[in-house]
A and B are shown apart, each in its own frame.
Chain A
Amino acid sequence: MGALLPLFTAIPVFSAILMLIVGKFDKKNFPRIWSILTSLSLLFILAAIWDKGTIIHEMGGWKPPFGVVLVKDNLSQFMLLIVNIVAFLTIIYSYVYMKKFEDYLRFFTLFLFMLAGMNGVVLTGDLFNLFVFLEIASIASYALVGYGVDAEELEASFKYLILGALASVFILFGIGMIYSLTGSVNMADVARFIIKNNLGNNNALLMATGLFIVGFGLKAGLVPFHAWLPDAHSSAPAPISVMLSGVLIKVLGIYAFIRIFYCVIGITPVVSNIFITMGVISMLVGAFMGFGQDDMKRMFAFSSVSQMGYIAVGIGIGTPFAIIGALFHLLNHAGFKSLLFLSSGAIETSTGTRNLSELGGLGKKMPVTSAASVIGSLSIAGVPPFNGFWSKLIIILAAFSAGYVWLGAILVLTAFLTLAYYLRFQKNVIFGEPSSNVKDAKEAPLLMLLPIIVFAIFCLLAGIFNGWIISNIVIPAQSIILDQLGYISSVMGI
C-alpha cells in the first residue's frame, strides 16, 4: 500500500516529461488527452488508499529519522482529495479554454509539474522535502501566471516571483534554524526532540516560528503579505486562477501552516493570536477591497484573501470545533471559488470583457453559466442552504464559544460585507438588460460547462448533506491536527 504514495508525484512528473517528448509530434491533441488521463489515474490511486488509516512509505528503504518518508494520514488524504479533484476538473476545462493561447504542450507540462509539487507538499514527512516540493509547485505557478506574456501578465508574474522567492528564502532559513536546533529535518523526529527537551521557548525555535509565519503567510496570501495575490489571480489564465485560488494558496500556505505548527513545532498562544490577527485583518481588507473592484477576477481575488482570513481565524482559535469549521470552509472555498473563476473565464471568452461595468443581463444569454455563478456567489456569501453558510456558521459559533466575542462580531460583519459585494456582482453581470458587449454572447462549450456544473452541484450538495461530509471527511482530518503525539508515534513507529 505504501508503494502507491510516491506515485502521486512520480506520475505527473514522468507523464509531463513524456508529454514534452511525444508532444513534439502531436502538439494539439496528445497533451490535452494525456493530461486528462494522468489526473484521472491520480484519482484512482487516491480511491485505492482512501480511508486506509495512516500509511508510511520510506523512500529507498531508509528508516524515518535518516531517510525521507512520505506520510498519508487523514489530513493529507483530505488535502489530496481537494487538490486532485480540482486539478482534474480544471484540466477538463482547459481542454477548450486554452485554445486562444495556441500552446497546449507547455501549459499542460507546467500544470502537471505544479500538480506534482502540491501532491508532494501534502504527502511529505520531511521539512526539507517540503521545501523542495513547495519550490516545484511555486516555480511552475510563476511561469503559468505569466503564461499570456502580455505586459500586465508579465508584471503580475514578476511581482509574484519576487515575493515568492522571498518567501522561499525565509522558509529555507527557518528549516535551517530548526536543523541547527534539533539535528534532524524529519518532521516527526523534530517534534519528538522539541517535546522531549521542552524547547517551547527556545530562541532559535521562536526565530524559526517568525520566519515560517512570514514565509507561509506570503504563500497563503494573508494580509499584510497579500500584495501579489490580486495581481497574479486576475492576470493568470482562468484555469490557473482556479488552481492558485482553489488549491495552491491552501496547500502551500494553510496546509503547511497547520502541519508545521500543529504537528511539528507545537502551537503556542502567541502563534494562535498572530493567526487570528492576520485572519481578521485579511477578512476585513479583502472584503473592503472587494467592493471597489471593477474587474471581476480582481474582485474574486480579494474575496479569496477575505475567505482565507476565515480559515486562518478558525485555525488560530484552535478548538476542535473551530478547526472543523476551518477545514470545512477550506473544502467549500475550493468548491465555490473554483466555480466562480471558471465562470469568469467562460464569461470572458464569450463577451471579451470581465469588467462589471461593461457587462449585464448575462442570465438571458448564458443561462447555465449564470445559474452556476449565482449558486457560487450565494455559497460564498453564506446564504443557506449552500455550503458556505454552514462552514461560516461553525467558525462563528466556535469563536463565540471560545470566548472571542468581538471576533465573532467581526466574522458576522464580514459575512454581510461578502454578501453585499457578491450581490453587486450579480446585479451588474447576471440580471438587468443585456449591454452592448453581451448582445451576441453565446453559451460556453460543453466541456467548459461540465466542470462548472460539477462544482455548482457540489456547492449545493455539500450544503444539504453537510453533516455527512463533516463526519466522514472533515472530522478524521481534524483529529490528526490536534493529535501531535499520535503523528509522532505513527511516523516513528514507537
Chain B
Amino acid sequence: MTLYFLNFVLLIIGLYALVVKRHIVKKILGVAIMEYAVNLFLILLGFKKSGIAPILTEDMDLRTFIHTAVDPLPQALVLTSIVIGLGTLALMVAMAIRLYERYGTFDMDEINRLRG
C-alpha cells in the first residue's frame, strides 16, 4: 500500500510541475515524471515480492509457478508505453528548441501571442 501511495505522490509531483511551473523545460520534466509514475504503477500491479521471471521451464511445478511468477502483461504494456513516452518527449523537446528560436525565451507566460 505504501508503494502505491508513494507512486501517487510521484504522479502529483509531475502534475504540479506541469500545471504550476512556467519554464517550458520544467513542464516537459513534469510530463516525463507523470509518465514514469504511471509506468511504475503498471509495473507495481504485476509485482510480487521475491517473485521470479514469468518463464515456465519443464522442471517447474505449475502451482508454485503461478504463485511466485510476476504478472508478465503489465511488463509488456510498460514497454510499449515507454516507447510512446519517448516519442512524445522527443517531440516536446524539439518543439521547445523551435519555440526558443522564435520567441527567445523558455517562459510560457511570455509565449502568449495566441489569446487563451
Report A's interface with B, CB cutoff 8 A. Answer: 128, 131-132, 135, 139, 142-143, 146, 149-152, 154-159, 161-162, 165-166, 168-169, 172-173, 176, 179-180, 185, 227, 231, 234-235
Contact indicator A161/B18 (Cβ below 8 Å): no
Contact indicator B18/A166 (Cβ below 8 Å): yes
Contact indicator B88/A154 (Cβ below 8 Å): no
Question: What is the CA–CA distance of A185 and B76 in the complex, to the nearest angstrom?
Answer: 12
Closest to A128 in B: B77
Question: What is the CA–CA distance of A203 and B98 in the complex, to the nearest angstrom?
Answer: 44
Name the B residues within 8 Å of A143 (CB-CB). 91
Name the B residues within 8 Å of A162 (CB-CB). 18, 27, 31, 92
Contact indicator A151/B103 (Cβ below 8 Å): yes
Which interface residue of A176, A231, A234 has the most chain B CB atoms within 10 A?
A176
Contact indicator A161/B95 (Cβ below 8 Å): yes
Decide if B69 is an interface residue (CB 8 Å cutoff). Answer: no
Residues 1-37 (chain B) with a chain A CB within 8 angstroms: 11, 14-15, 18, 24, 27, 31, 34-35
Binary interface encoding of chain B residues 76-116 relative to chain A, with 1 for a CB under 8 A from any of its CBs, else 0: 01001100100110011001101100110000000111101
Question: What is the CA–CA distance of A146 and B102 in the complex, to the nearest angstrom?
Answer: 13
Other 7 A-B pairs with CB < 8 A, given A135-B88, A165-B92 = A139-B87, A154-B98, A154-B102, A155-B113, A158-B24, A179-B73, A179-B77
Which interface residue of B45, B80, B81 has the most chain A CB atoms within 10 A?
B81
Question: What is the CA–CA distance of A187 and B45 in the complex, to the nearest angstrom?
Answer: 19
Residue from the list B38, B41, B114 in contact with A156, Cβ < 8 A: B114
Question: What is the CA–CA distance of A149 and B101 in the complex, to the nearest angstrom?
Answer: 11
- Minimum CB–CB distance for A197 against chain B, Å: 18
Contact indicator B114/A152 (Cβ below 8 Å): yes
Report B's interface with A, CB cutoff 8 A. Answer: 11, 14-15, 18, 24, 27, 31, 34-35, 38, 41-42, 45, 73-74, 77, 80-81, 84, 87-88, 91-92, 95-96, 98-99, 102-103, 111-114, 116
Closest to B15 in A: A166
Residue from the list A155, A165, A180 in contact with B99, Cβ < 8 A: A155
Name the A residues within 8 Å of B99 (CB-CB). 151, 154-155, 158
Q: List 29 A-B contacts (CB under 8 A).
A: A135-B84, A135-B88, A139-B88, A142-B91, A155-B113, A156-B114, A158-B96, A158-B111, A161-B91, A162-B18, A162-B27, A162-B31, A165-B88, A165-B92, A166-B15, A166-B34, A168-B88, A169-B31, A172-B42, A173-B38, A173-B41, A176-B38, A176-B45, A179-B45, A179-B74, A180-B45, A185-B77, A227-B116, A235-B114
Name the A residues within 8 Å of B15 (CB-CB). 166
Contact indicator B45/A169 (Cβ below 8 Å): no
Name the B residues within 8 Å of A173 (CB-CB). 11, 38, 41
Name the B residues within 8 Å of A149 (CB-CB). 98
Name the B residues within 8 Å of A157 (CB-CB). 95
Question: What is the CA–CA distance of A136 and B74 in the complex, to the nearest angstrom?
Answer: 20
Known contacts A162-B31, A176-B38, A176-B42: A150-B102 contact under CB 8 Å: yes
Question: What is the CA–CA distance of A231 and B113 in the complex, to the nearest angstrom?
Answer: 10
Closest to B43 in A: A176
Question: What is the CA–CA distance of A158 and B35 in the complex, to the nearest angstrom?
Answer: 17
Residue from the list B84, B87, B113 in contact with A152, Cβ < 8 A: B113
- Minimum CB–CB distance for A230 against chain B, Å: 8
Closest to A159 in B: B114
Question: What is the CA–CA distance of A161 and B95 in the complex, to the nearest angstrom?
Answer: 9
Closest to A171 in B: B38
Question: What is the CA–CA distance of A89 and B84 in the complex, to the nearest angstrom?
Answer: 30
Name the A residues within 8 Å of B112 (CB-CB). 155
Name the B residues within 8 Å of A155 (CB-CB). 99, 103, 111-114
- Minimum CB–CB distance for A324 against chain B, Å: 35
Question: What is the CA–CA distance of A233 and B45 in the complex, to the nearest angstrom?
Answer: 38
Name the A residues within 8 Å of B24 (CB-CB). 158
- Minimum CB–CB distance for A155 against chain B, Å: 5
Residue from the list A151, A161, A165 in contact with B102, Cβ < 8 A: A151
Name the B residues within 8 Å of A158 (CB-CB). 24, 92, 95-96, 99, 111
Question: What is the CA–CA distance of A166 and B15 in the complex, to the nearest angstrom?
Answer: 8
Closest 7 CB pairs of A and B: A151-B102, A169-B34, A165-B31, A135-B84, A231-B114, A158-B95, A180-B45
Name the B residues within 8 Å of A180 (CB-CB). 45
Name the A residues within 8 Å of B114 (CB-CB). 152, 155-156, 159, 231, 234-235
Question: What is the CA–CA distance of A62 and B27 in the complex, to the nearest angstrom?
Answer: 41
- Minimum CB–CB distance for B86 against chain A, Å: 11
Residue from the list A139, A159, A176 in contact with B91, Cβ < 8 A: A139
Question: What is the CA–CA distance of A197 and B88 in the complex, to the nearest angstrom?
Answer: 38
Closest to A127 in B: B77
Residue from the list A172, A227, A235 in contact with B38, Cβ < 8 A: A172
Question: What is the CA–CA distance of A387 and B61 in the complex, to the nearest angstrom?
Answer: 65
Question: What is the CA–CA distance of A128 and B95 in the complex, to the nearest angstrom?
Answer: 27
Closest to B116 in A: A227
Question: What is the CA–CA distance of A166 and B31 in the complex, to the nearest angstrom?
Answer: 7
- Minimum CB–CB distance for B13 against chain A, Å: 13
- Minimum CB–CB distance for A345 against chain B, Å: 19
Name the B residues within 8 Å of A161 (CB-CB). 88, 91-92, 95
Contact indicator B84/A132 (Cβ below 8 Å): yes
Name the B residues within 8 Å of A128 (CB-CB). 77, 80
Question: What is the CA–CA distance of A161 and B74 in the complex, to the nearest angstrom?
Answer: 26
